[in-house]
Structure 1
Amino acid sequence: MHNSELHDVATALRTARLDRVPIPAPTKTWPGLDADRAFQVQQINVDHAVAGGDRVVGYKLGNIAKAMQDAFGLDQPDYGYLLATTFACEGTTLDRGRFIEPFVELEPAFVLRAHLRGPHLTVADVITAIDYVVPAIEIIDSRVQNWAIDLPDTLADNGSTGAVLLGGTPRRLTGLSLRDTPGALSFDGRRVVAGNTGAILGNPLAATAWLANRLAAYDIAFTPGQVILPGSCLAAVPLREQGHWSGTFAHLGTVEFDVHTA
């Protein structure tokens, strides 16, 4: 693919996000789009956002748990940038209309106190670099029609990011057992899905090492203060109706938000 075609893909996805009108899978329109070229598309749109006043505040890993891969028909994780404008405050009300076809995920979030640069990082390196953990909700949303995505499609679409809410209960790693921390999502007081952080590549620390090592191929390193989302440990739940969402991890805390529909 020529560089101009990569910019065409980026523009199509950016327009779909702004207009909230999904497009056919980019891999169908641009058959030469592979994972590496798709990540270039992602970077084009991140650069565009930063030039417009946004900023990169971290990175995300998606579809790492089998429940997520089965749900979206993928057999490999995706990954993307976290932009400041993606974040919302817990306890606030989000407008369903800002999304296309959103799903709600519960996952831990790591805030870093040290640099992480791959390749060849280990879980020990990740443990040393983490300042604290908070519960997080990620709302994923695809600019691709009907979520009919292959890996390059979701990579080009910045890992299908929608919104991120961080909980206000920071915890140190000591005292937590992230290979075995139960979590659950509830809607209007009714539990809708449950899981365990052990489903995130054994534990989310290992998933973070995987992400840092993968992004090292693109000369990306994580820096102090950045937020790392290592992926959901449970199946994503469609966000359709007005109501109250709550996500809780044992020993880690709760993060909540409301959703409004017009």
Structure 2
Amino acid sequence: MQNPANGTSRMARALYEARATRTPIPPLTDGDPTLDIHDGYAIQRELIELLVADGDCVIGYKAGLTSAPMQAMFSVDTPDYGPVLASTVHHDGASVPSGAFIAPKVEAEIVFRLGASLKGPGVDVDAAREAVSEVMAGLEIVDSRIEGWRIRLADTIADLASNGAVVLADPVPAGDRDFRPTGMAFSRNGELLATGAGAAALGDPVAVVAWLANVLGERGVTLEAGQLIMTGALHSAVPITAGDTFVAEFDQLGSVTLHIGE
């Protein structure tokens, strides 16, 4: 990235205003094709500071690009991450207005809550499994403040990993169960659109927790007890239209429902 530090602040401010006005902006990488992953996270951190200054708070983290097809699309071999903001979390059966977003899509995923803190490096799957206390069926709304979803990797990272909102079912104890074979059926207005299994998320959704702990640990960040960990989509995201009702049914976890308002 050739821009000085104030370039990072300028890009964070542009994304902040795009979120506030629901007006998309051109890809950041159009203006500076040299933007890389590190630049994306630098912009993301400044954007989070702006949102927290408005009264929001980070209550967890979401991982994206956890499936092989999505990584191939971006020509990467690792996931990305962004914050889970308190203002974006809704309970099962919530009605979320489509007008709150720019170009929303929805996807089903497994969500964990930590019962103990984790800090990398050196966190393995066994340690991550011991730290997880609860698991929830989740429906994530992803959105992009970038025009037409014309995102490169640095764009989506800077844009908080394209976060929008999440709807969560009631939690169940995680125990020592294996979430890799956990099956999921995803429907819109009663029509089955996709199926998936936990293994689509980095081979094991618990491995996503370990990955996040290690990557954030490199930046001096600890995953804290009580935080939510969104482990990534189990299928391709589906565009949202006002009036839609989405349901994801998970083996052992139950179902979660999202209604889309105007």
TM over 0.5: yes
CA contact (8 A) 2:94 2:167 kept: no
Displacement of 1:143: 0.7
2:42 counterpart residue number: 40
Matched, 1:249 2:250: yes
1:109 counterpart residue number: 111
Cα separation, 2, equivalents of 1:145 and 1:17: 12
Q: Which amino acid aligns with 1:186?
A: S
1:143 counterpart residue number: 145
CA contact (8 A) 2:113 2:132 kept: yes
Matched, 1:177 2:206: no
Deviations 1:208-237 (CA, angstroms, capped at 9, x unpaired):
111221122221110010001111121111
Cα separation, 1, equivalents of 2:81 and 2:226: 19
Give the match's secondary structure for 1:177: coil
Q: Which amino acid aligns with 2:211?
A: W
1:63 counterpart residue number: 65
CA contact (8 A) 2:137 2:254 kept: yes
Alignment of 1:145-164 (within 5 A): 145-164=147-166
CA contact (8 A) 2:74 2:153 kept: no
State the identity as a percent: 36
1:77 counterpart residue number: 79
Q: Which runs of 4+ in 1 moved over 6 A?
A: none
1:125 counterpart residue number: 127
After superposition, the CA RMSD in angstroms is: 1.5
2:136 counterpart residue number: 134
More divergent stretch after superposition (206-215 vs 109-118): 206-215
CA contact (8 A) 1:114 1:129 kept: yes
Cα separation, 2, equivalents of 1:91 and 1:172: 22
Give the match's secondary structure for 1:116: coil
Displacement of 1:67: 3.9
CA contact (8 A) 1:65 1:199 kept: yes
Give the match's secondary structure for 1:64: coil
Alignment of 1:231-246 (within 5 A): 231-246=232-247
Cα separation, 2, equivalents of 1:68 and 1:184: 20
Matched, 1:53 2:55: yes
Q: How many residues align?
A: 259
Displacement of 1:33: 2.2
> How does the TM-score come out when normalised to structure 1?
0.94
> How does the TM-score come out when normalised to structure 2?
0.94
Displacement of 1:103: 1.1
CA contact (8 A) 2:61 2:229 kept: yes
Matched, 1:26 2:28: yes
CA contact (8 A) 2:120 2:222 kept: yes
Q: Which of 97, 100, 104 is 2:99 aligned to?
A: 97
More divergent stretch after superposition (74-83 vs 141-150): 74-83
CA contact (8 A) 1:14 1:45 kept: yes
Give the match's secondary structure for 1:128: helix
CA contact (8 A) 2:187 2:193 kept: yes
1:200 counterpart residue number: 201
Give the match's secondary structure for 2:11: helix
Give the match's secondary structure for 1:168: coil
Cα separation, 1, equivalents of 2:137 and 2:75: 25
Displacement of 1:81: 0.8
CA contact (8 A) 2:59 2:85 kept: yes
Cα separation, 1, equivalents of 2:7 and 2:64: 26
- Structure 1 segments unaligned to the other structure (5+ residues): none
Cα separation, 2, equivalents of 1:199 and 1:193: 13
Matched, 1:11 2:13: yes
Cα separation, 1, equivalents of 2:249 and 2:74: 27
- Structure 2 segments unaligned to the other structure (5+ residues): none
Give the match's secondary structure for 2:136: strand
Deviations 1:130-187 (CA, angstroms, capped at 9, x unpaired):
111111111110111111111111110010000011111423233x331111112111
Cα separation, 2, equivalents of 1:142 and 1:184: 25
